Amino acid sequence: MKNRWYKDAVVYQIYPRSFCDSNGDGIGDIKGITSKIEYLKDLGINAVWLNPVYKSPNKDNGYDISDYRDIMDEFGTLDDFKEMLEKFHKNGIKVIMDLVVNHTSDQHKWFQESKKSKDNPYRDYYIWRKGRGKDGKKPPNNWTSRFMGPAWEYDEASGEFYMHLFAKGQPDLNWNNPKVRQEVADICNYWFDMGVDGFRCDVLTYISKPDDLPDGKFNLGLIGDEHFTIGPNYHKYIKELNEKSWSKYDSFIVAEAIGTGLKDAVALTDENNKELDSLFHFDLANVDAILQFIPKKVDLVKFKKIINDRQNLPATTWNSNYYENHDQPRSLPRLADGGDLMEAGKMLAVSLLMIKGTPFIYQGEELGMTNCAFKKEEMIDVMATQIMGMFHKISPLLDNWAYKVMLKRARDHARTPMQWNGRENGGFTTGKPWMVVNPNYTEINAEKEQSDENSLLNFYKKVIHFKLGNEIAINGNYIEYLKKNKNLFVFERRLENKSLFVICNFKNKDIKFTLPEEINYKNCELKISNNKDAGKLESCVLKPYETRIYELEY
C-alpha cells in the first residue's frame, strides 16, 4: 500500500504566541510565523502543527475558543492565515491545526445563548445539571477540574451548574447532542476546504460523558476520570466524525489521548476502525518524576520499555513520537544526565527521529532551549496560577512549597519565547514580551547555531534530511537490542536485507558497547554521528552522549 503522507513527515510544533512577533506588541503572531517559513524550510521539516490560533479570550492561551472560524485578534486576520497557509504549501510544508472541541470558551456565542435560559435552543450544547444538597448549591457530582477544584460552576440566573473539566472559562460541550457533533464536523470541513491538512485533537478522549454523571473515584488527586476517559459513546462519535469529515480529505488526525494506556492504543487508532490515524500518549512524560512532582533520575530500562511496547503495536496502528510540547517542561536536562547538553540533544534527536512513527519537534527543541529559573510571579499560565492559588488558600505557609513544585512542572517552561538571536528579547519581539524570555538566549539561539557547523541545530538538519524519504526509516521493523543495558539505547530498523542500526549513549560518560552476536552484516556504512572519530560497527567505547546511525546490508 502507498504510504499516507504523514508517515513520511517530520512535524514541527509552533506555539504561535511565543514564536515570532511581527508588530512589536510583544505577542507572537501569524505574520511572524510566515516570516520564519524560510527558517523551517532550511531546518528541513515538512509539516507544522500550530497550537490554537482561533478567536479566544485567552484564559488558557487559545484553548478556550470563542469563534472556530476566525483568527484571534492578537494573531492577525483570516487573510494573514490564508497567506501563511499558501506560503507553507508552496514550500512543501503541510499545516496541522489544533482542534479544541471538548470545550469552548464561555465567551462563545453558543455558551452565551446557552446561559440565557433553560429553554434556549443552545442550552443543550453544554452539560447543565441541578446541584445537590438542600439548597441545590452543591455540585452535581464530585468530579474535579484538571486544573484542580470542582469541575462545576454555579450559574445564579438559572440555578444550575455547568461542567468544565478545565478552567471555568472552558465549559464542556455536550457531545450527546447530535447538533454539537454536526457543528464539529462542519468546523473541520471548513478548515479542510481552506486547505488545512490535518488536526491535532485536544483532549479528545474526554468528549463522551455518561448521561447519569455518577460520582468518581479519587485518582492521583483528580476525580472522575474513569467515567469520561473513552466514555460510553466515544467510539461511536469519533467514527461518525471520521465519516462526515476526516475521511473525505487526505488528512492526518492525531489525538491527545490523555488518560489512556498501552492497552487502549489499538482500539483508538487501528486503521481498520476508521477513527484516528495516531495518538499522543503520556507514558514518557513522567519518567523523571514520581507522582508528577517529585524529581527522580530517568530509569533508561523503563524508558526503553515504554518505547518498545509502543513500537511493537500491530502494524495497523501508527505512532506519533515526541519528547516536548507546550504542556511539558523542556527535555534538556530532564532526559539527560548533566554535562554537555548540546551533545545530549543530538543523541535525543536521533532516538526521537529514528524510531518508527511520526516525530514531533517542539519549537526551540532543535536549539536545545532549556527550562527557565522563574520567579514566582513570572509563572503566569492558568495551571501554575490556579494550583499555587489553591495551596495559598489552604495556607500561605504552603506558598514556597507550591512555588518549588511548579518550578519543576509548570507549562510556562515550554512557553518562553523562541530564541532567535543574541539581541534584546532573543529577537522574539521589539516590544515588551508577553512573558519572560529565558535569559540564556545570549548563549542558546538560532543565529549563533546556524553559523556553527557542530551545533545542535545543524545536527537536527542532518538527521531530518536523512530520515525523510528513507524507506527503511519509514517502514522498517523495529528491533531492540541490549534491552537490559542501563546506559545505552540500541535498536535497528529492518527492511528486507537492509537496516538502520542506531546507537544512543544516554549517559554523560564513556560507555562500553558490545556488538550483539546476531549482527552479521555484509556491508556497513556510518551515516550520522556526533563523534568525528566513530568507526565501523563493532564493539567499542562510546563517548558521553555519543550517537551513531549505520546503514547495514545483510
Q: In this complex, which beta carbon is closest to ligand GLC, that of residue 304 or of residue 413?
A: 413
Provide the mask over 500-539, with x wherever binding to ligand GLC is found by CB under 6 A and - wherever it is not.
----------------------------------------
Q: In this complex, which beta carbon is closest to ligand GLC, that of residue 60 or of residue 343?
A: 60
Is residue 88 a contact point for ligand GLC (CB under 6 A)? no
What 3-state DSSP class applies to 408? helix
Please tell me the distance from the alpha carbon of residue 143 to that of residue 222, in angstroms, as a whole number: 8
- The alpha-helical segments, DSSP class H, found in 285-340 are 300-311, 331-334
Is residue 206 a contact point for ligand GLC (CB under 6 A)? no
Residue from the set 21, 60, 74, 225 that interacts with ligand GLC by CB under 6 A: 60
Is residue 29 a contact point for Ca ion (CB under 5 A)? yes
Is residue 23 a contact point for Ca ion (CB under 5 A)? yes
Instruction: Indicate which of ligand GLC, Ca ion, none lies near residue 27 (CB less than 5 to 8 Å, by partner kind).
Output: Ca ion
Instruction: Indicate which of Ca ion, ligand GLC, none lies near residue 381 (CB less than 5 to 8 Å, by partner kind).
Output: none
In single-letter form, the type of residue at position 321 comes to: N
Is residue 546 a contact point for Ca ion (CB under 5 A)? no
Per the CB < 8 A criterion, the answer to whether 449 and 458 are in contact is yes
Angle (CA) 349 251 317, round 5° = 60
Q: Which of 54, 12, 9, 8 is nearest to 325 (CA)?
A: 12
List, in order, residues 6 or more apart from 363 with CB less than 8 Å away. Answer: 12, 13, 14, 15, 18, 19, 418
Is residue 362 a contact point for ligand GLC (CB under 6 A)? no
Is residue 25 a contact point for Ca ion (CB under 5 A)? yes
Of 202, 343, 365, 492, catalytic: 202
Per the CB < 8 A criterion, the answer to whether 63 and 16 are in contact is no
Q: In this complex, which beta carbon is closest to ligand GLC, that of residue 142 or of residue 386?
A: 386
Is residue 166 a contact point for ligand GLC (CB under 6 A)? yes
Please tell me the distance from the alpha carbon of residue 553 to that of residue 146, in angstroms, as a whole number: 50
Is residue 430 a contact point for Ca ion (CB under 5 A)? no
List, in order, residues 6 or more apart from 147 with CB less than 8 Å away. Answer: 166, 167, 382, 383, 386, 387
Residue from the set 20, 100, 180, 473 that interacts with ligand GLC by CB under 6 A: 100
**Number of residues located near Ca ion, criterion CB under 5 A:** 5
Residue 256 catalytic? yes
Angle (CA) 137 142 146, round 5° = 110
Is residue 435 a contact point for ligand GLC (CB under 6 A)? no
Binding range to Ca ion, per CB under 5 A, among 20-28, 123-131, 280-288, 413-421? 20-28
Least Å from the CB of residue 365 to Ca ion: 23
Q: Which three three-digit cell numbers place residue 358? A: 511520526
Instruction: Indicate which of ligand GLC, Ca ion, none lies near residue 25 (CB less than 5 to 8 Å, by partner kind).
Output: Ca ion
Please tell me the distance from the alpha carbon of residue 59 to that of residue 485, in angstroms, as a whole number: 45
Whether residue 214 is preceded by a cis peptide bond, meaning omega within 30 degrees of 0, is no
For the chain, first and last CA: distance in Å?
25
Sign of the torsion formed by the C-alpha atoms of 72, 75, 76 and 79? negative
Residue 424 catalytic? no
Q: What is the dihedral of CA 359, 364, 366, 371, to 10 degrees?
A: -100
Is residue 288 a contact point for ligand GLC (CB under 6 A)? no
Of 80, 225, 256, 366, catalytic: 256
Provide the mask over 292-331, with x wherever binding to ligand GLC is found by CB under 6 A and - wherever it is not.
----------------------------------xx----
Strands 278-280 and 289-290: what pairing? Answer: unpaired
Q: In this complex, which beta carbon is closest to ligand GLC, that of residue 372 or of residue 456?
A: 372
Number of helices and strands in the chain (H, E): 17, 24
Residue from the set 203, 347, 414, 446 that interacts with ligand GLC by CB under 6 A: 203
Query: Grid coordinates 474526554 are at which residue?
Result: 206
Q: In this complex, which beta carbon is closest to Ca ion, that of residue 19 or of residue 513?
A: 19
Enumerate binding residues for ligand GLC (CB under 6 A).
Answer: 60, 63, 100, 166, 202-203, 256, 326-327
Enumerate binding residues for Ca ion (CB under 5 A).
Answer: 21, 23, 25, 27, 29
What amino acid positions are annotated as catalytic residues? 202, 256
